[in-house]
A and B are shown apart, each in its own frame.
Chain A
């Protein structure tokens, strides 16, 4: 049985933050969970997926975050408790639906989990999604610890039902990817049978309806303001004339810093766990008798600005600071030492930082950047496109996935990227105004996520672009989640239909469609040459399984390759053009690490001397 389904109230268990949230949702009786995978939220979706195989929970990997939110919204409007999971940038995709869903509201509890990523460990920006709560008029909860993450996940459903609105549960990487102990609570039997009563004048967002619903949303927000002032998730700790306001993981750093500095008795902490709407009465009360207040929050000055505005209302003029020089940065994530330093500086406490080591005499350590795996099919395609375009100048808009790693030399096959699905649409724009030929890259999952509308645009407006769809049969970057093009039978999962990318592309009216097998180098190069010469929209679909995924599916392994030293003339074309991590240079000679080589044979086809040969045993 899945460990998060254990019916043993009181049992203590060591879990990942994402698992704590999943358990909290299960204890609330969640019956529908939807997602598009994205770090740092992926393990939460995985836990739901695994549990759905052993329980009544309905789970789906949806095509994108907007679709995921809409599926969950429908469930919640049919009386089913639902949760929708995504990373912070995913909410941008879902935002269109979210803003109006706040008007329509929900019948059963619905929770939107947004996993924000300060410092961008694996993201393209570090936006602070608390502002989505403010913009949509929805409540935002922010846990500081794993037990609280679980408790908030449960409570969020109750709050949602009380207000008739979705609730945003906002985490950061250091909650999602931290590990700690939780205590299991009672399991409830989820309601899995929904019903729908027609009520178009409350559920169909036409202007006449929405004007009234906006009024209702504001009334609900006023109700939420009362709750946020009463909830135990917003609390004051300690007494003292110095005030610190904090949220999420910053609360932990603040607590540790006060102990380290020995000033816990001088400081009063206001910990905000329910951050939209901010608790006006609690904040106003907190201001009384304080000399000065420091707001410790990662990201944007969300609470800081709210507090200043509340202070202004009551004529309080004490310093309220947070972001600024010598204080907290709006960039990156917090750490204990930085928080300690800011607190010490702001309140004038002596600080004896741990003496750092003099590392000026360290030799240069070679960088260890992430790299496309040995035998990665994307590497072959990047090489082949370059080869096919040897006498052309090419510009490459790329997209979100493993293949973004193609930005690094020697492949250098990524020139522009903003977000999921932007490769083909920005490619349309570039192609109109620059002289270079535009060749765009997109993965299979991303194609279904948001590449299709861009391709429709390209066809309709007759742009001159080549779209390369890197179909490696899985959503590789986030850990091999399925997507609509995946053969789920091969994963041992029945009941799913597989969508053919080729049929979709042809169905959209693309006249030049070529399917290549990227491990066959010359054939691929020839096909790509033709596609590049085509005036208008041409699409190349490169089909080959992600090698890590193929291994997980237990596909038969091929023989690794070696260098035949008698034939090798040391061109280094293999190393210089492909950058495969299975190759290395030793004693000025190229060699292949047989443990890493998966036998894709691309390097063997690149070598002009045919000096790369399979190992025969």
Chain B
């Protein structure tokens, strides 16, 4: 299988690493070779957390600039910041609810307007799916389920060689029982939103 390269960017605490974990387990269950890498050193101190996942026949676990097939962004400004990882054929999926960095919150730097950010991403890449994943997570009665909403949207895109059933089984195997129902609900809402 030709490699499919996925970058996930998020802010510490948004559940990036769990999403990567679920995707990795789902790939393993599907018999698809998978290599993953993460940078999480500052995850709990407001920094950016990035996962790279390479599905298919490749040995590298990281993805160079301009070489992502899919960019999944949990926060719109971080999606924009990661555009250097994309090329004109890259598919982008992003949450639109902003989490301004502290620097912007105290007036040192300006958080770019959402519309402008989405226009730029859309103009430069092959496709953009943007929606308020946080709202859907709340709908699923799980404010922490933002990552599951975005996972659902990613699977719906069809770019990642993993079925919805396999992904859901991996969610069942890898998330806490107390959140299971709302996680699956969040996944479904994301899956629908990306239709």
Shortest beta-carbon distance from A89 to chain B in Å: 14
A14, A365, A371, A583: the one contacting B28 at CB < 8 Å is A14
Given the interface pairs A366-B103, A367-B101, A584-B100, the reply to whether A355 lies near B88 with Cβ below 8 Å is yes
**Residues of B close to A363: CB separation below 8 A:** 110, 112, 116-117, 120
**Which chain A residues in 343-374 approach chain B with CB under 8 Å?**
353-359, 361-373
**Residues of B close to A180: CB separation below 8 A:** 24, 34-36, 61
A319 in the interface (beta carbon within 8 A)? no
Given the interface pairs A368-B103, A581-B105, A584-B100, the reply to whether A356 lies near B47 with Cβ below 8 Å is no
A338 touches B64 (CB 8 A): yes
**Residues of B close to A181: CB separation below 8 A:** 28, 34
**Residues of B close to A282: CB separation below 8 A:** none
**Residues of B close to A173: CB separation below 8 A:** 39
A337 touches B34 (CB 8 A): no
Interchain CA distance A221-B40 in the complex, whole Å: 39
**Residues of B close to A178: CB separation below 8 A:** 35-38, 61
B158 in the interface (beta carbon within 8 A)? no
**Residues of B close to A253: CB separation below 8 A:** 59-60
Shortest beta-carbon distance from A411 to chain B in Å: 13
**Which chain A residues in 210-261 approach chain B with CB under 8 Å?**
249, 251-253, 255-256
B24 touches A179 (CB 8 A): yes
Shortest beta-carbon distance from A369 to chain B in Å: 7
A585 in the interface (beta carbon within 8 A)? yes
**Residues of A close to B40: CB separation below 8 A:** 177
B48 touches A357 (CB 8 A): no
Interchain CA distance A180-B100 in the complex, whole Å: 33
A122, A145, A355, A370: the one contacting B46 at CB < 8 Å is A370
A543 in the interface (beta carbon within 8 A)? no
**Which chain B residues in 8-62 approach chain A with CB under 8 Å?**
11, 20-21, 24-25, 28, 34-42, 44-48, 58-62
**What class of interface size applies to chain B in its complex with A?**
35 or more
Instruction: Write the chain B residue with the least CB distance to A123.
Output: B41
A255, A357, A370: the one contacting B84 at CB < 8 Å is A357
Shortest beta-carbon distance from B117 to chain A in Å: 8
Instruction: Write the chain A residue with the least CB distance to B103.
Output: A366
- A-B contact list, 21 entries, CB within 8 Å: A14-B28, A177-B37, A179-B20, A179-B34, A256-B58, A256-B59, A256-B60, A335-B64, A336-B62, A336-B67, A354-B87, A356-B66, A356-B84, A358-B124, A365-B112, A370-B46, A371-B102, A373-B44, A579-B106, A584-B102, A584-B105
Apart from A335-B63, A363-B112: 20 A-B pairs, beta carbons within 8 A: A122-B42, A145-B59, A177-B39, A179-B35, A180-B35, A181-B28, A249-B61, A252-B61, A354-B87, A357-B86, A362-B83, A365-B112, A366-B109, A366-B110, A369-B46, A370-B42, A371-B102, A548-B44, A575-B106, A581-B105
Which A residues are within 8 Å of any B CB, using their own CB? 12, 14, 39-40, 121-122, 145, 173-174, 177-181, 249, 251-253, 255-256, 335-338, 353-359, 361-373, 402, 405, 548, 575, 579, 581, 583-585
